[in-house]
């Protein structure tokens, strides 16, 4: 019999995991992965958890490493991604932190831009049914609550530039190199 105390009502499980691009904050609800955040240093995590809990109206719980329930599979898949053995995340996602056009664009990105490929902001806008909304696509990428899993690093400038990235341009380069879009750094 499982005697582990579980929160009653809405809850959020969160943790910080090491990755090839630095510490990542992961948060999940019973509906699915709800948040991935780059550069999850202790001071940043402290500033992120309160607003996240408030926005979701949930109790937060950080399990001991290896005792994750809601995050066990996201952690496993992220490790496989960074090891080069996972090309598509197969996770339930909780989309509550995104809405309207932003959610539409992010879901289109997730459906149509596979591992190892890129798409321009304008092309993604057209795929989402809003040709000419490239700048709005950029805003949607900047608001992505699920980077890495919903791979906004795969969205680049139409003229061949790498474009911006919430995790930093160097992190975007590392992810595109991992996926074989850019060459690996020599140093």
Q: Is 152 tagged catalytic?
A: yes
| Per-residue buried b or exposed e for 75-110, using 16+ beta carbons within 10 Å of the residue's own CB | bebbeebbeeeeeebebebbbbbbeebbbebbebbb
Place of tokens 């408030």: 54
Q: How far apart are the first and last CA of the chain?
A: 52
Marked catalytic residue, from 152, 155, 156, 176: 152
CA distance 113 to 102: 16
Mind telling me the catalytic residues? 152
């Amino acid at each position: 019999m499982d005697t582990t105390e579980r929160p009653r009502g809405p809850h959020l499980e969160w943790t910080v995991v090491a990755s090839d691009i630095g510490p990542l904050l992961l948060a999940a609800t019973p509906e699915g992965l709800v948040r991935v955040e780059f550069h999850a240093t202790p001071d940043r995590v402290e500033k992120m958890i309160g607003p996240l809990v408030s926005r979701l109206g949930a109790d937060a719980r950080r399990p001991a490493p290896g005792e994750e329930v809601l995050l066990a599979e996201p952690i496993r898949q992220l490790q496989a991604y960074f090891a080069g053995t996972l090309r598509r995340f197969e996770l339930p996602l909780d989309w509550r932190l995104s809405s309207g056009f932003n959610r539409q664009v992010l879901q289109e990105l997730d459906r149509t831009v596979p591992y190892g490929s890129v798409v321009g902001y304008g092309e993604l806008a057209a795929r989402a049914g809003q040709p000419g909304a490239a700048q709005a696509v950029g805003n949607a990428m900047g608001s992505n609550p699920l980077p890495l899993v919903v791979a906004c690093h795969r969205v680049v400038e139409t003229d061949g530039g790498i474009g911006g990235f919430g995790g930093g341009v160097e992190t975007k380069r590392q992810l595109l190199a991992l996926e074989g879009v850019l060459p690996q750094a020599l140093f």
